[in-house]
Structure 1
């Protein structure tokens, strides 16, 4: 049995889409919050469950080979939307992360064919599948949805 590790906070967003926990990382201004809002709205429009876990700062804790994400207590249920300020939104207290999306800086594009060694990342001792994306590019939400479907079925 793997003992739980102490929580560490990371600069990222976490959300749950259906039963799929997703961590969005990237530099400031890369679109983590806007993409989180867009993904949650897209899943809900399909009639599926979706919720924010945390915006901007997320606690990660390894438990039994899985990585658990939780919101920072001082900002749980709050997300920043550029042009609107801080918004209160429905949130879940935790999720098991299934994948990581690393957002690229504005103007950068993901490689057409990613390197095999970049296909995973290790956080708190847990290896997760990883995808690179530019949140501002047309089709980002559709590509992430296809990626989630691929990871969930493999």
Structure 2
């Protein structure tokens, strides 16, 4: 309901359109662990390669078994979101991970915020 999958699919498409490698690791659930001070997440085998598209059953798409996580995007009710956010990190599996809070169900405003936070085109 918060728009996680929709945002993930839009982010994947945005990066691919700019020639950047992008793949889904998992939809809704990941297995997290710390390796050498970095957060690494893997997809459970039961949901590997599937994304739940609103209004449809889970659909197959290209995926990676796991990867290093550079940003924790938290989708929150619009009323809980600050207009400007400090650079914050949140521990996940014992690793500090940069976090950004974005309004749920609003991929149009979330996309540029994530791109800016990760310094991906058009942001440098």
Matched, 1:110 2:81: yes
Aligned to 2:91: 122
How large is the Cα RMSD of the aligned pairs? 1.7
Q: Pick from 112, 116, 121: which aligns with 1:146?
A: 116
Aligned to 1:85: 57
TM-score (norm 2): 0.88
Does structure 2 retain, via aligned residues, the 8 Å contact 1:104–1:110?
yes
Please report how far the alpha carbon of residue 139 of structure 1 lies from its aligned counterpart in structure 2 after TM superposition.
2.2
Please report how far the alpha carbon of residue 108 of structure 1 lies from its aligned counterpart in structure 2 after TM superposition.
3.5
SS at match of 2:97: strand
Please report how far the alpha carbon of residue 45 of structure 1 lies from its aligned counterpart in structure 2 after TM superposition.
1.1
Aligned to 2:40: 68
TM-score (norm 1): 0.71
Deviant stretches of 4+, over 3 Å: none
Q: Which has the higher strand share?
A: 1
SS at match of 1:54: coil
SS at match of 2:81: coil
Alignment gaps of 5+ in structure 2: none
- Following the alignment from structure 1 to structure 2, what is the Cα–Cα distance between the partners of residues 114 and 123? 19
- Following the alignment from structure 2 to structure 1, what is the Cα–Cα distance between the partners of residues 13 and 33? 27
Alignment gaps of 5+ in structure 1: 1-28
Alignment length (residue pairs)? 119
